[in-house]
Amino acid sequence: MCGIVGAVAQRNITPILVEGLKRLEYRGYDSCGVALHVDGKLERSRSTARVAELEKQVAEAHLEGFTGIAHTRWATHGAPASHNAHPHFSRGRIALVHNGIIENHDELREELRAAGYEFESQTDTEVIAHLVDHLYTGDLFETVQLATKQLVGAFAIAVFSRDEPHRVVGARRGSPLIVGIGNGENFLASDALALAGTTNQIVYLEEGDVVDLQMQRIWIIDANGKQVEREVKTVQAHTAAVELGPYRHYMQKEIFEQPRAIADTLEGIESITPDIFGDKAYGIFKKIDSVLILACGTSYYSGMTAKYWLEAVAGVRTDVEIASEYRYRDSVPNPNALVVTISQSGETADTLAALRHAQSQGMQHTLTICNAATSAMVRECALAYITRAGVEVGVASTKAFSTQLAALFLLTLTLAQVKGRLSDEKEAAFLKEMRHLPAAITAVLALEPQIIAWAEAFARKENALFLGRGLHYPIALEGALKLKEISYIHAEAYPAGELKHGPLALVTEEMPVVTVAPADSMIDKLKSNMQEVRARGGELYVFADGDSRITTSEGVHVIRMPEHYGLLSPILHVVPLQLLAYHTALARGTDVDKPRNLAKSVTVE
Ligand code: HGA
């Protein structure tokens, strides 16, 4: 999604702004831009190409300055075009960048038009720029506080004025924004990663904060208009984590990092104890009678998998809801439910809103499974488990998913223990299996050459079906999502028993049917479903395991997984599906790490 970088310094900040945008590129964007204060004027450069192109433009124009802002845009209002790219200017006096969506932009636009403002773009963002100009008192900090009061919706903004050359003002509500502290210079960004290499001293702004950034000081006013001090945190430099190393794409790198990511996520877990989710976990887990999981996209599928585990192992009733639906639905709140939000970034706008909706309904037992320790989700939930996948750059999530599953299995075992359903023997056996996961995934990764051969056939198709049953139905869904996200092949997943209720009509010789077929209790049922496909000429691509007893025959291609992994099998079975999607996309020549129309960290609704 969109990225913001801003700086006030006593040196040329163009390289810092451009480098910051480069670090945010992985989130996906369709245009970018930078604006600087130059000799008493606002100057900008914008591009619908990559940040590298913007860098060239900026160098050719000798765009240099001490105060400025920059942005990568993922369009929500108005086409991805140069005139819609940020920074937006108002009357040559105000420059502004924005992440998020302003819901009352139409009303504000009408008012501003009536006041004589002309609009150059179709964005909701330009409305904020003109609003700030319209309300400008000569003090930008004061003006931004006034302007943000009129905004409905979600935003993080960075703004500066021609008339105050050494000042950038930031504000956030619903979208993340951080301050980077330097020596006689200060920075703003939507993510600390943007400032890696510049500063590791970070202040995480809170909901409703407005910040005044000057060279020697930062000044923060909170949502109630009070001046506040916020803790300065030292963050780890992520620089090494975002190097591509020997891999062609981040997605490939991240698929191969999964053994390490799972090992890191499980590091230090010697036994099952509620404390691993936080000090208050035992008290909360004792009280709860059910689980409500809220998530979007891939995280939603990890939640679906967890439902099978939580009900079967812990005996705790579990509902899984798509966050963007739940937040607007009239549901029946259960104050005794444990609300579990799952999000890679911990900033997913819909999931955050769903969490707040649940809290507003009196559901206070909250836990998040998240890959970003300092995210809003972690700050706003009573309990948290931080997966240690490391920075995930590829838009199509891989290691974040498998580490979420590992964390959700730990949650399952913990709730089973609290509910008296986990014997010491079972605990020891499950922990042993979890510790073996990195080695088991490494063995699955060795199947890559066989999967490449399949991918060549898939690259020529325009449709695919994915089948799974029970625990592996969500894995089939995740496999189909991966394929459509990055190869643009239309793919759908079904619980195999549903085939005859509709999708079987799609099966012809042209339709590849990927089947997730471990030797679990559903295998015989699944084999009957596979017969239904073969009888209509459909071609089966089966991921079986040791005991599935499925062999290659006409129209049935089989890749055998190295071992059967019981309840943890979904963590292994998703890996070949990730590889299949990756190699199919590679064969089709798509932009694997930045698939069209998609973005990382979905911080808009
Ligand atoms: N609404 C603004 C910003 C979009 C955004 O934050 N995307 O992640 C626009 O469309 O320009």
Quote the ligand 1 centre to 98 CA distance (angstroms): 7
What is residue 174's DSSP assignment?
A: B
Q: Mean pLDDT, to the nearest integer, of 394-423?
A: 97
Task: Give per-residue pLDDT as tens, 531-579.
Answer: 999 989 999 999 999 778 888 999 999 999 998 899 999 999 999 999 9
pLDDT higher at 419 or 267 = 419
Interval between CA 150 and ligand 1 midpoint (Å)? 18
375 lines ligand 1 (CB under 6 A): no
| Phi, then psi, of 293 in degrees rounded to 5 | -100, 130
Question: Using a 6 Å cutoff on CB, does residue 93 contact ligand 1?
Answer: no
| pTM for the full predicted model | 0.77
Domain 3-246 sits in CATH at 3.60.20.10
Measured CA to CA, the distance from residue 572 to residue 402 in angstroms comes to 8
- Give yes or no for a contact between 7 and 169, defined as CB atoms under 8 angstroms apart: no
The yes-or-no verdict on residue 160 having pLDDT over 70 is yes
Question: Residue 574, SS3?
Answer: helix
Name the residue among 347, 406, 411 with its Cα closest to residue 374: 347
Which residues touch 411 (CB under 8 Å, ≥6 apart)? 277, 306, 310, 340, 367, 369, 385
Active site residues: 2, 600
Q: Where are the domains of the chain?
A: 3-246, 256-434, 446-588
pLDDT at residue 593, as a whole number: 86
Q: Does 3-246 match 446-588 in CATH topology?
A: no
Q: Give the position of tokens 């500063």.
A: 199
**Under 8 Å between Cβ of 84 and 122:** yes
Give yes or no for residue 123 CB within 6 A of ligand 1.
yes
Q: Give 47's Cβ-side CA count (13 Å radius).
A: 15
Task: Tell which atom from ligand 1 comes closest to the C-alpha of 604.
Answer: 8
Q: What is the C-alpha separation between 315 and 421, in angstroms, rounded? A: 8
256-434 — its CATH code? 3.40.50.10490
Distance between CA atoms of 377 and 370, rounded to whole angstroms?
8
- Which tens digit of pLDDT belongs to each residue from 39-84? 999 999 999 998 999 999 999 999 999 999 999 998 889 999 999 9
CA 604 / ligand 1 centre spacing (Å): 8
The answer regarding whether domain 446-588 maps to CATH 3.40.50.10490 reads: yes
Band of the pLDDT at 302, cuts 50, 70, 90? very high
Compare 50 and 491 and report the one with higher pLDDT.
491
Contact 531, 556 (CB under 8 A): no
Q: What is the mean pLDDT of the chain?
A: 94
Rounded to whole angstroms, the Cα distance separating 594 from 29 reads 8
3-state helix/strand/coil string of 184-232: CCEEEECCHHHHCCCCCEEEECCCCCEEEECCCCEEEECCCCCEECCCC
Whole-number pLDDT of residue 239? 53
| CB 541 within 8 Å of CB 515 | yes
Separation of alpha carbons 64 and 44, rounded Å: 10
Q: What are phi and psi of 283, to 5 degrees?
A: -55, -45
**CA proximity to 500, closest of 520, 478, 530, 472:** 530
DSSP 538: P
Each residue's pLDDT tens digit, 409-430 = 999 999 999 999 999 999 999 9
